[in-house]
Amino acid sequence: MDDAYKGKLAAAFREECTDILSELEISLLALEKNPEDIRLVSKIFRALHTIKGSGAMAGFNDISNFTHGIESIYDLVRNNKLPVTKHLIDITLKAGDYIERLLNTPDMTGEKESGDAILTEFKKIAGGTEETPGPPKNSLNGYSHSADKEKVSVFKIEFKPPENIFLRGLDPLSMIDELKDLGHIECRAYTDRIPDLTDINPELCYISWDITLTTDKNLNALKDIFIFIEDDSELNISEVKEKQSDLDTAGRLLKDPDSSKKKVLPKKTEKPASIRVGSDKLDSLVNLVGELIISQARLARISGENEIPGLRAVSEEIENLTAELRENAMKLRMIPIGDTFDRFQRLIRDLSNELHKDVKLKTIGGNTELDKNIMEHLHDPLVHLIRNCMDHGIEPLKQRRSAGKPETGSIIMKASYSGAYVLIEITDDGAGMDLNKLKETAIKKGILQGGNKLTETEIYNLVFEPGFSTAERITGLSGRGVGMDIVKRVIDSLDGSIMISTKKGKGTTITLKIPLTLAIIEGLLVRVGDRYFIIPLSAVKECFEYTGNNTFTEKKNILSLRGSLLPYINLRKFFDIRGTPPKFQQIVVARASDSLIGYIVDEVEGQYHTVIKSLGRIYRDLEGISGATILGDGTVALILDVLKLAQLAEQPA
Amino acid sequence: MNNTETASTNQYLTFMLGEETFAANVIYIREVLEVLPVTKVPRTPKFILGVVNVRGNVVPVIDMRLKFDMSEQETTADSAIIVMEIYFDGEPVTIGALVDAVNEVLEIEKDKIEKPPRIGMRIGNEIIEGIGKHEDRFIIILNMNRLFAPDELAIAVNDHRNKETNERFS
């Protein structure tokens, strides 16, 4: 095995194992709620088995050996020899974390003890039963000839592996060898399906087997051997009741090899309805669609300028197709938010233990889909918000009791669509926010000047100020005054917004409004001189004519709009564009965070499908421009960063 | 930083800035384009002209004359944008370099390249890899990976902003 191959194998295992671990976690949490669900136990067992097997194959022997110990425990659980307890789930979760650590830092030596400690825990649990998880293999090896130990049974196995078994890195002969380890086997191979030499494909398996196994092991031990391929093989395992009939059965099989085919299990059709595609491939597809939109805009322009018969129809057809393609391509990158929600079950469980608060998480609308790039950014803010709910929101048990609330606190995560946005609401039934306390803290920390009149919303928004925290004591979770401002910054950078509504004593709801996607946005195309700019349409509130008369004071760049003051930026001045402005300029009013800013432009051209292109590293320090797009005529237009521009405009000169 | 320095061949693309002949190793070069309409990006150092659309990609264009403190000049029919891939901060970026004219690809042997003189050079020494000799002409060979001095972009942007913020918002 050369190193490159090894590296590839290891990378594939890391990816696979990470997926399995997160599924394992979900199964474990579900099992905690339904300890009787045998299907979940099987699922967990199968996950552990896969980690063990693939781990050994990919050279992660630490993981493989470690997982083996846990697998034995779940074998006991599966056979009803060990009950599902909270303690068991606890350490299994811990074990999952440990495997994940091993996965990412395979050569850590200091961690060995913590792994051993976990295994010792497991052994303690198993101590109550007659079977203890032994070191790898030994307990499985060897067919015991002592008749008094356990009952000996005979199994008849009809095994026809899928033709592509080798391509999956599995070897049927090694499976038969494993069977041999369980006891005494008689094996017959059927070679009738092997084609002529000219037609043979050496990478396929044409052989099927009938195997008679005499063993003291149970059915599960047998099934484990075929665990990786049982879904795709024709596999029929039946127990022959009396040992004497063994020979008869074998004899009958020998006579009539075809009889086995009548009894085969129907192929399970529980195949996943999805395939795994590298996200870089999706990104490049979306990029290509972006290019196509740009080319299409050019075509539309040319067809508009030249009256060529037929061209217009084709151009419009391509426009429709492009729009449809764009929608489909964007959908490919959408992933349901449910996976992200599920990950919080674990967080809440851990925090419940840590804070001694009993809290249940309920999720609604897990099918709601978001662009995966956005989802990645959303994880940390959500973690922070949940932590806040747990730490500040939900009261300690005593307080809940005296308030007449149910002892178990509740946190609800809900996702729903709202136009081109997704709303994510996080609701707790905790203590809510105290307006006066918020105000006091803000004044004490110097964020707010005393005597200022603020609306309710403005007071709630104080929590987004850097350095703000009302927690009386600092815990590992919150109260350090970092966090909410960062949450807001992330949400702002995604072009989203965040709202708080709270009732003292009843609870708090925090609503995040997140755009569905970031790669292609709707923009408003504006012109200044011969230069074009895009203002994100989601931010635009209104447009009106600017005559210069309604300027409140030219010096301060503020004008009055229906009685209130509107700060504005003259783009011509700001971007230093030469030429004289037309007599009637336009003002585009755009919302930035919680303030409004006007932009003075020569002309508003209209709505534009904007494919966002990065300006690249050379411009990484540039402020006020968030990217660029390519217009129908091939020139580049800059996309205004309305948030940053608003901040620049608000800075005192 | 040696790992980000690109291994070079002995082939060089030569181009003109004013009367002087410059050369860049062909491994940097992606293509040579006619002058395209440039979209200016505000509040950036002057030698970064703006961005152009190179087949759907937004590529920044550097005015090499301004970079080397030569006088500003209108583009001519000979002017060209050389699209290059260089390392900036350890990562590859695509840039366009606006030059007065593109000449040819030359082979210059390593032993024909001398270290740049320490004095009498108008351009900062760090970007010059050496002086090549070809048919009695001297050619200034550039190390394009050092086109931007470490903090040149950040500082330039900041200077520019500090100087101009006041007048723009007043």
Asked if A624 and B39 come within 8 Å (Cβ–Cβ), the reply is: no
* Domain shared by A301 and A345, yes or no: no
Domain holding B126, by residue range, is 2-169
Question: What DSSP designation does A272 have?
Answer: -
Average pLDDT, stretch B142-150?
A: 80
Chain B contact present for A575, CB below 8 A: yes
State the pLDDT at residue A157: 84
Give the residue from A27, A621, A359 showing the smallest Cα distance to B152: A621
* Domain shared by A507 and A534, yes or no: no
Interhelix angle A86-104/A61-78, nearest 10 degrees: 160
Nearest chain A residue to B89 by CA: give it. Answer: A617
pLDDT grade for A534, boundaries at 50, 70 and 90: very high
Number of domains chain A is built from: 5
State the pLDDT at residue A551: 52
The residue from A260, A293, A314 where one domain ends is A260
pLDDT at A159 over 50: yes
Chain A contact present for B166, CB below 8 A: yes
Asked if A630 and B56 come within 8 Å (Cβ–Cβ), the reply is: yes
pLDDT at A325 over 80: yes
Number of domains chain B is built from: 1
Looking at the domain assignment, is residue A141 inside a domain?
no
Average pLDDT, stretch A514-542?
A: 86
Average pLDDT, stretch B29-34?
A: 92
Question: How far is the C-alpha of A372 from the C-alpha of A613, rounded, in Å?
Answer: 18
pLDDT at A10 over 70: yes
Asked if A622 and B52 come within 8 Å (Cβ–Cβ), the reply is: no
* Domain shared by A457 and A580, yes or no: no
Q: For position A642, which CATH number holds?
A: 2.30.30.40
Question: How far is the C-alpha of A2 from the C-alpha of A475, rounded, in Å?
Answer: 50
pLDDT grade for A101, boundaries at 50, 70 and 90: confident
* Domain shared by A373 and A391, yes or no: yes
pLDDT grade for A638, boundaries at 50, 70 and 90: very high
Pairwise pLDDT comparison (B7 vs B114), residue with the higher score: B114
* Domain shared by A90 and A27, yes or no: yes
Q: How far is B42 from chain A (nearest CA, A)?
A: 5
* Domain shared by A355 and A317, yes or no: no
Asked if A615 and B51 come within 8 Å (Cβ–Cβ), the reply is: yes
Which chain B residues have a beta carbon less than 8 Å from that of A574? 42, 168
- Per-residue pLDDT tens digits for A593-608: 678 888 989 999 888 8
Question: How far is the C-alpha of A332 from the C-alpha of A327, rounded, in Å?
Answer: 9
Asked if B168 and A573 come within 8 Å (Cβ–Cβ), the reply is: yes
For every residue of A225-243, DSSP letters joined together read HTTTTTTTSEEEEEEESST
Give the residue from B123, B140, B116 showing the smallest Cα distance to B47: B123
Question: How far is the C-alpha of B140 from the C-alpha of B22, rounded, in Å?
Answer: 5
Q: For position A198, which CATH number holds?
A: 3.30.70.1110
Question: How far is the C-alpha of A303 from the C-alpha of A319, rounded, in Å?
Answer: 12
Chain B contact present for A525, CB below 8 A: no
State the pLDDT at residue A130: 43
Q: How far is A182 from chain B (nearest CA, A)?
A: 55
State the pLDDT at residue A471: 52
Pairwise pLDDT comparison (A346 vs A551), residue with the higher score: A346
Looking at the domain assignment, is residue A274 inside a domain?
no
CB nearest B166 (choices: A615, A630, A653): A653
Q: For position A377, which CATH number holds?
A: 3.30.565.10
* Domain shared by A200 and A304, yes or no: no
Asked if B153 and A636 come within 8 Å (Cβ–Cβ), the reply is: no
Q: How far is A347 from chain B (nearest CA, A)?
A: 37
CB nearest B93 (choices: A575, A617, A623): A617
The residue from A316, A333, A350 where one domain ends is A333
Q: For position B144, which CATH number holds?
A: 2.40.50.180
Asked if A635 and B148 come within 8 Å (Cβ–Cβ), the reply is: no
pLDDT at A519 over 80: no
Domain holding A217, by residue range, is 153-260
Q: For position A97, which CATH number holds?
A: 1.20.120.160
Question: How far is the C-alpha of A88 from the C-alpha of A595, rounded, in Å?
Answer: 53
The residue from A260, A287, A312 where one domain ends is A260
State the pLDDT at residue B5: 46
β-pair partners for B62: B48, B97
Looking at the domain assignment, is residue A270 inside a domain?
no
Q: For position A319, which CATH number holds?
A: 1.10.287
Asked if A616 and B58 come within 8 Å (Cβ–Cβ), the reply is: yes
* Domain shared by A467 and A613, yes or no: no
Question: Mutating which of A291, A618, A621 best tests the B interface, going by the most B Cβ atoms within 10 A?
Answer: A618
Question: How far is the C-alpha of A498 from the C-alpha of A486, rounded, in Å?
Answer: 12
Question: Given phi > 0 = left and psi -120 to 50 = alpha, else beta, which region is A514?
Answer: beta
Looking at the domain assignment, is residue A385 inside a domain?
yes
Asked if A618 and B39 come within 8 Å (Cβ–Cβ), the reply is: no
Joined tokens for residue A218: 């149970």
* Domain shared by A483 and A527, yes or no: no
* Domain shared by A288 and A339, yes or no: no
Question: Mutating which of B40, B89, B169, B170 best tests the A interface, going by the most A Cβ atoms within 10 A?
Answer: B169
Say what the ipTM of the complex is.
Answer: 0.80
